[in-house]
Chain A
């Protein structure tokens, strides 16, 4: 491993961190996860359908040379995902963690949603996750070690009016998490999910003021969450501190589903 890392132009890879792929890292929660993992010494690889100012900042930062890698790609294209994972493996020599974060949201009355809405939600939120997880799990099987964190949502547990299709894709991640944890546990590959409540991100900007007030009212801690509430949990699930935790859903919602 060390030889391959050296070949990638990296001098040291602290044993307490590792190489992580974060899907959808250009904005919102994904970008906060990338920032947090970079701050804590991880080697972070990410991709999104488009770049962003934050991606450009990381790419230009001399202190992150060799420690951050980004591509624009569509998570729903099998060959593109396969090629991306191969590139990461070749660059860094291994893949220790995967954070399945890439997702789109489509809200509206279910009866009026379009075929295209359904197709996009399934293709990106579930299909893209399947493709990426398969490719990374293949590498982890050879390594006989790894950690996968699926970013779901409390709407996959409790539902939300206007988010039926989106909720279904997020609920799908729970099934993936439970089953993969069972399938891969014997190879020391842990699979967990996080179910954040409504967060103050670009994806929640579409909420009507009345919806926002309702969420706040129903949340014991009295506010919407922030990405900063969630990222330490991602890091915890990647750390040795969670070494005996797999197949679990960690809810981070201020008590909204308590």
Chain B
């Protein structure tokens, strides 16, 4: 499994876990899906996603004040870029 796939998979698992814990259905994510409008995450879901990913990956790119992430693929890219330094 490539590095890129691993990160993407972690993010998929994390978001699906958060959806399931609040009684929502798991989803298959598409690159251009908007995190809020299409996937249905609210701001606290996004915060929980970021915290859970920090537990799993050891980084939180948002601590440095990163903003502007709208879509699933942008979220994946942000973590990939942060992990590759």
Residues of A within 8 A of B (CB): 138-139, 141-142, 144, 183-184, 186-187
Contacts and interface: CB of A to CB of B under 8 A. Distances in A.
A142 B51 CA distance: 7
B44 A139 contact: no
Given A142-B52, A144-B48, 4 more contacts: A141-B48, A142-B51, A144-B21, A184-B44
A187 B44 contact: yes
Contacts of B47: 138, 141
Q: What 3 A-B pairs come out closest when comparing CB atoms?
A: A138-B51, A141-B48, A142-B48
Contacts of B44: 141, 183-184, 186-187
A184 B22 CA distance: 14
18 contacts: A138-B47, A138-B51, A139-B51, A141-B44, A141-B47, A141-B48, A141-B51, A142-B48, A142-B51, A142-B52, A142-B55, A144-B21, A144-B22, A144-B48, A183-B44, A184-B44, A186-B44, A187-B44
A210 to B, nearest CB: 50
A138 B55 CA distance: 11
Nearest to B60: A138
A175 to B, nearest CB: 20
Contacts of A144: 21-22, 48
Interface in B50-68: 51-52, 55
Contacts of A141: 44, 47-48, 51
Contacts of B21: 144
A154 to B, nearest CB: 32
A14 B77 CA distance: 43
Contacts of A186: 44
Interface string B7-50: 00000000000000110000000000000000000001001100
Contacts of A142: 48, 51-52, 55
A235 to B, nearest CB: 27
A144 B17 CA distance: 12
A184 B51 CA distance: 15
